[in-house]
Amino acid sequence: MKLFIKFDINTICSLYLKQNLELNNVNFTTLGFGEIEIEDNLDAEALDNLKTKLAPCGFEVVENQKSVLVQKIKDAIIELVFMDDSNNYKSSVFLAEKLNHSYGYLSNVFSEVTYSSIENFIILQKIERAKQLIIINEMSLTEIAFLLNYSSVAHLSTQFKNTTGITPSAFQRIIKKRRENLK
């Protein structure tokens, strides 16, 4: 039997991080997605041990200030893309207000560290969200395009195809076929 499971990656990451920190007796406060404050001073050995335990699942302690800012930009973009009312916000305004820096500065730092643009990262996240919504199969492509702040289904389709190599409709057919084959 195969099950289709809807999940929130942010919740999963937060729970995994919390469990690991508690298992290692680290007292902490969550400040935001991907940001915690450790209440006790960890010596170098304890910090290295924690890094080692978090690494297998892709967690990494970010120590460079520009890298920290880039991670905050990525987290804010993911937050924006996964908001149900994200079409009420312009991404540049949202990022500037959330991170208290000009969008130009954020864009420059992001490009310097990642060798890519904020706009490309937003597109990638929007396409990932579109794929999740298509898999869940509760919304039409028109509704998905509106939710993700696309001007039209054609705009969503163009970016989807440029990113994945197939159209959203083809992706829907593949998902539908897989479900039929599992029955």
Q: Which helix (H) or strand (E) holds 32?
A: strand 28-32
Tens digit of each residue's pLDDT (9 = 90 or more) over 121-156 = 999 999 999 999 998 878 899 999 988 989 899 999
Cα dihedral 31, 11, 122, 125 in deg (nearest 10): 160
Residues 6+ apart with CB under 8 A from 18: 30
Please give the helix or strand (H or E) that residue 30 lies within, else none.
strand 28-32
Where is pLDDT greater, at 107 or 175?
107
pLDDT at position 85 over 70: no
Of 124 and 7, more confident = 124
- CA distance to 48, 101, 137, 157, 174, per residue, from 18 (Å): 17, 29, 31, 38, 36
Instruction: Tell me the pLDDT band of 11, cut-offs 50, 70 and 90.
Output: confident
pLDDT greater than 80 at residue 118: yes
- CA 164 to CA 131: how far, in whole Å? 10
Sorted by sequence, the CB contacts under 8 Å of residue 173 that are 6+ apart come out as none
Helices (H), the chain: 9-23, 44-54, 65-82, 91-99, 103-114, 118-136, 141-147, 153-164, 168-182
SS3 115: coil
Alpha-carbon distances, residue 153 vs 87, 138, 173 (angstroms): 14, 16, 17
Predicted confidence at residue 2, as pLDDT, reads 65
Q: Which residues contact 60 (CB under 8 A, 6 or more apart)?
A: 51, 54
Kindly indicate the confidence band of residue 43, based on its pLDDT and cuts at 50, 70 and 90: confident
Mean of the per-residue pLDDT values of the chain = 85
* C-alpha span between 161 and 127 (Å, rounded): 9
Q: What would the mean pLDDT of 46-65 be, rounded to a whole number? A: 80
CB 68 within 8 A of CB 109: no
